[in-house]
Chain A
Protein backbone atom coordinates (compact mmCIF):
# COMPACT_ATOMS: atom_id res chain seq x y z
CA UNK A 1 0.00 0.00 0.00
CA UNK A 2 1.31 3.43 -1.01
CA UNK A 3 1.74 5.50 2.10
CA UNK A 4 3.65 7.99 4.16
CA UNK A 5 4.39 6.85 7.69
CA UNK A 6 5.42 8.95 10.65
CA UNK A 7 6.69 7.95 14.07
CA UNK A 8 5.87 8.55 16.79
CA UNK A 9 2.23 9.56 16.40
CA UNK A 10 2.14 11.19 19.82
CA UNK A 11 5.01 12.55 21.87
CA UNK A 12 5.23 14.47 25.12
CA UNK A 13 8.67 15.74 25.99
CA UNK A 14 10.41 18.42 28.02
CA UNK A 15 12.19 21.58 26.97
CA UNK A 16 15.69 20.97 25.65
CA UNK A 17 15.50 17.20 25.15
CA UNK A 18 16.53 16.42 21.58
CA UNK A 19 14.04 14.44 19.56
CA UNK A 20 13.59 13.06 16.06
CA UNK A 21 10.33 12.46 14.22
CA UNK A 22 10.80 9.95 11.43
CA UNK A 23 9.07 10.05 8.06
CA UNK A 24 9.18 7.38 5.40
CA UNK A 25 7.44 6.99 2.03
CA UNK A 26 7.27 3.90 -0.17
CA UNK A 27 6.32 5.60 -3.45
CA UNK A 28 9.80 6.54 -4.68
CA UNK A 29 8.82 10.22 -4.53
CA UNK A 30 11.45 12.86 -5.13
CA UNK A 31 9.82 15.65 -3.14
CA UNK A 32 9.26 15.51 0.61
CA UNK A 33 8.36 18.21 3.11
CA UNK A 34 7.45 18.90 6.70
CA UNK A 35 4.57 21.07 7.87
CA UNK A 36 3.26 22.15 11.21
CA UNK A 37 -0.42 22.82 11.77
CA UNK A 38 -1.56 25.22 14.47
CA UNK A 39 -5.06 26.51 15.27
CA UNK A 40 -5.76 29.79 13.50
CA UNK A 41 -2.52 29.58 11.52
CA UNK A 42 -3.14 26.64 9.23
CA UNK A 43 -0.42 24.54 7.63
CA UNK A 44 3.00 26.12 7.43
CA UNK A 45 5.98 24.55 5.74
CA UNK A 46 9.07 23.94 7.86
CA UNK A 47 11.55 22.35 5.43
CA UNK A 48 11.39 20.64 2.11
CA UNK A 49 13.61 18.40 0.01
CA UNK A 50 13.71 18.20 -3.77
CA UNK A 51 15.75 14.99 -3.73
CA UNK A 52 18.47 13.12 -1.85
CA UNK A 53 20.93 15.51 -0.19
CA UNK A 54 18.90 18.54 -1.39
CA UNK A 55 17.02 20.35 1.37
CA UNK A 56 15.85 23.92 1.87
CA UNK A 57 14.03 26.07 4.38
CA UNK A 58 10.31 26.63 4.26
CA UNK A 59 8.41 29.40 6.00
CA UNK A 60 9.13 28.47 9.63
CA UNK A 61 12.49 26.63 9.83
CA UNK A 62 13.81 28.09 13.10
CA UNK A 63 14.51 25.41 15.70
CA UNK A 64 14.32 22.50 13.24
CA UNK A 65 16.77 20.47 11.21
CA UNK A 66 16.25 17.86 8.51
CA UNK A 67 18.32 15.45 6.48
CA UNK A 68 17.69 13.45 3.32
CA UNK A 69 20.29 10.72 3.09
CA UNK A 70 17.95 8.23 1.42
CA UNK A 71 15.11 8.92 -0.97
CA UNK A 72 12.47 7.29 1.22
CA UNK A 73 13.32 8.93 4.56
CA UNK A 74 13.11 12.53 5.70
CA UNK A 75 13.50 12.85 9.49
CA UNK A 76 12.67 16.05 11.37
CA UNK A 77 15.05 16.88 14.20
CA UNK A 78 14.39 19.22 17.10
CA UNK A 79 17.75 19.68 18.79
CA UNK A 80 16.45 21.70 21.73
CA UNK A 81 12.64 21.70 21.72
CA UNK A 82 10.77 24.60 23.27
CA UNK A 83 7.09 24.95 24.25
CA UNK A 84 6.35 27.05 21.13
CA UNK A 85 7.12 23.96 19.07
CA UNK A 86 4.09 22.21 20.53
CA UNK A 87 2.09 21.47 17.41
CA UNK A 88 0.72 18.88 15.01
CA UNK A 89 3.37 17.90 12.46
CA UNK A 90 2.80 16.42 9.03
CA UNK A 91 5.25 14.91 6.61
CA UNK A 92 4.27 14.89 2.94
CA UNK A 93 5.66 13.53 -0.30
CA UNK A 94 4.89 13.94 -3.99
CA UNK A 95 6.39 12.66 -7.25
CA UNK A 96 7.86 16.08 -8.08
CA UNK A 97 7.85 19.53 -6.53
CA UNK A 98 4.94 20.72 -8.66
CA UNK A 99 2.08 22.06 -6.54
CA UNK A 100 -0.35 20.31 -8.88
CA UNK A 101 1.18 16.92 -8.09
CA UNK A 102 -0.81 15.17 -5.41
CA UNK A 103 0.94 15.57 -2.09
CA UNK A 104 0.52 12.52 0.11
CA UNK A 105 0.42 13.40 3.77
CA UNK A 106 1.35 11.21 6.68
CA UNK A 107 -1.05 10.69 9.60
CA UNK A 108 0.54 13.39 11.73
CA UNK A 109 2.61 13.56 14.90
CA UNK A 110 1.17 15.45 17.84
CA UNK A 111 4.05 16.91 19.82
CA UNK A 112 3.75 18.52 23.24
CA UNK A 113 6.80 20.25 24.73
CA UNK A 114 6.50 21.00 28.44
Chain B
Protein backbone atom coordinates (compact mmCIF):
# COMPACT_ATOMS: atom_id res chain seq x y z
CA UNK B 1 0.00 0.00 0.00
CA UNK B 2 1.32 3.42 -0.94
CA UNK B 3 1.85 5.94 1.84
CA UNK B 4 -0.21 8.53 -0.05
CA UNK B 5 -3.02 7.82 -2.50
CA UNK B 6 -4.40 10.36 -4.93
CA UNK B 7 -6.92 9.90 -7.72
CA UNK B 8 -5.08 10.78 -10.95
CA UNK B 9 -8.22 12.01 -12.68
CA UNK B 10 -8.39 13.60 -15.15
CA UNK B 11 -11.00 15.94 -13.76
CA UNK B 12 -12.82 18.38 -16.06
CA UNK B 13 -15.10 21.08 -14.69
CA UNK B 14 -16.80 24.17 -16.16
CA UNK B 15 -15.47 27.60 -15.26
CA UNK B 16 -16.92 28.83 -11.98
CA UNK B 17 -17.40 25.36 -10.49
CA UNK B 18 -16.22 24.35 -7.03
CA UNK B 19 -13.45 21.76 -7.30
CA UNK B 20 -12.61 19.21 -4.65
CA UNK B 21 -9.27 17.41 -4.79
CA UNK B 22 -8.44 14.72 -2.27
CA UNK B 23 -5.70 12.51 -0.89
CA UNK B 24 -5.78 9.66 1.57
CA UNK B 25 -2.82 8.40 3.55
CA UNK B 26 -1.91 5.47 5.70
CA UNK B 27 0.67 6.85 8.14
CA UNK B 28 -1.10 8.36 11.14
CA UNK B 29 2.13 10.11 12.14
CA UNK B 30 1.94 12.61 9.26
CA UNK B 31 1.59 16.11 10.65
CA UNK B 32 2.54 18.47 7.82
CA UNK B 33 0.34 18.57 4.75
CA UNK B 34 1.01 20.45 1.55
CA UNK B 35 -0.59 21.07 -1.81
CA UNK B 36 1.49 21.80 -4.90
CA UNK B 37 0.32 22.97 -8.30
CA UNK B 38 2.19 21.87 -11.42
CA UNK B 39 1.54 23.45 -14.78
CA UNK B 40 2.38 21.52 -17.92
CA UNK B 41 6.15 21.45 -18.59
CA UNK B 42 6.88 23.25 -15.31
CA UNK B 43 8.09 22.27 -11.87
CA UNK B 44 5.66 22.05 -8.92
CA UNK B 45 4.99 25.19 -6.88
CA UNK B 46 3.79 25.21 -3.29
CA UNK B 47 0.18 26.40 -2.96
CA UNK B 48 -0.58 25.85 0.70
CA UNK B 49 0.54 23.96 3.75
CA UNK B 50 -1.33 22.96 6.90
CA UNK B 51 -0.05 21.68 10.19
CA UNK B 52 -2.09 18.94 11.86
CA UNK B 53 -5.89 19.07 11.53
CA UNK B 54 -8.20 21.86 10.51
CA UNK B 55 -8.82 24.22 7.65
CA UNK B 56 -6.73 26.90 6.03
CA UNK B 57 -8.00 29.41 3.52
CA UNK B 58 -6.09 31.49 0.99
CA UNK B 59 -8.24 33.39 -1.49
CA UNK B 60 -10.19 30.91 -3.57
CA UNK B 61 -8.30 27.94 -2.11
CA UNK B 62 -9.14 26.05 1.08
CA UNK B 63 -7.06 23.20 2.45
CA UNK B 64 -8.72 20.79 4.86
CA UNK B 65 -7.17 18.04 6.96
CA UNK B 66 -9.11 15.29 8.70
CA UNK B 67 -6.55 13.27 10.64
CA UNK B 68 -9.18 10.92 12.09
CA UNK B 69 -10.06 9.78 8.57
CA UNK B 70 -6.52 10.22 7.20
CA UNK B 71 -7.93 12.38 4.45
CA UNK B 72 -6.96 15.78 3.11
CA UNK B 73 -8.73 17.99 0.62
CA UNK B 74 -8.12 21.06 -1.46
CA UNK B 75 -11.17 23.07 -2.50
CA UNK B 76 -11.03 25.61 -5.29
CA UNK B 77 -13.93 28.06 -5.46
CA UNK B 78 -14.95 29.89 -8.59
CA UNK B 79 -12.53 27.84 -10.65
CA UNK B 80 -10.78 29.58 -13.55
CA UNK B 81 -9.17 28.24 -16.73
CA UNK B 82 -5.83 29.35 -15.23
CA UNK B 83 -6.37 26.75 -12.48
CA UNK B 84 -5.93 24.00 -15.10
CA UNK B 85 -2.90 22.07 -13.85
CA UNK B 86 -1.90 18.94 -11.98
CA UNK B 87 -2.33 19.19 -8.21
CA UNK B 88 -0.03 17.19 -5.96
CA UNK B 89 -0.52 16.57 -2.29
CA UNK B 90 2.49 16.00 -0.06
CA UNK B 91 2.94 15.23 3.59
CA UNK B 92 5.59 14.55 6.20
CA UNK B 93 5.98 13.35 9.75
CA UNK B 94 8.64 15.85 10.68
CA UNK B 95 9.51 19.22 9.28
CA UNK B 96 12.38 17.98 7.16
CA UNK B 97 11.82 18.40 3.43
CA UNK B 98 13.74 15.21 2.88
CA UNK B 99 10.86 13.32 4.46
CA UNK B 100 8.11 14.41 2.08
CA UNK B 101 5.76 11.82 0.62
CA UNK B 102 4.04 12.97 -2.56
CA UNK B 103 0.79 11.83 -4.12
CA UNK B 104 0.82 11.03 -7.82
CA UNK B 105 -1.19 14.14 -8.71
CA UNK B 106 -4.66 14.91 -10.07
CA UNK B 107 -4.90 16.56 -13.46
CA UNK B 108 -7.56 19.28 -13.51
CA UNK B 109 -8.97 21.06 -16.55
CA UNK B 110 -11.28 24.03 -16.14
CA UNK B 111 -13.31 24.56 -19.28
CA UNK B 112 -14.20 28.19 -20.20
Contacts and interface: CB of A to CB of B under 8 A. Distances in A.
To the question of whether A and B form a pair in one complex, the answer is: yes
- The range of chain B's interface size is 20 to 34
Interface in B51-95: 51, 88, 90, 92, 94-95
Given A42-B103, A108-B43, A48 B98 contact: yes
Contacts, number: 71
A1 interface: no
A98 B43 contact: no
Interface residues of A, number: 28
B100 interface: yes
Interface of A: 4, 31, 33, 39-45, 48, 56, 58, 90, 92, 94, 97-108
Interface of B: 4, 6, 8, 32, 34, 41-46, 49, 51, 88, 90, 92, 94-100, 102-105
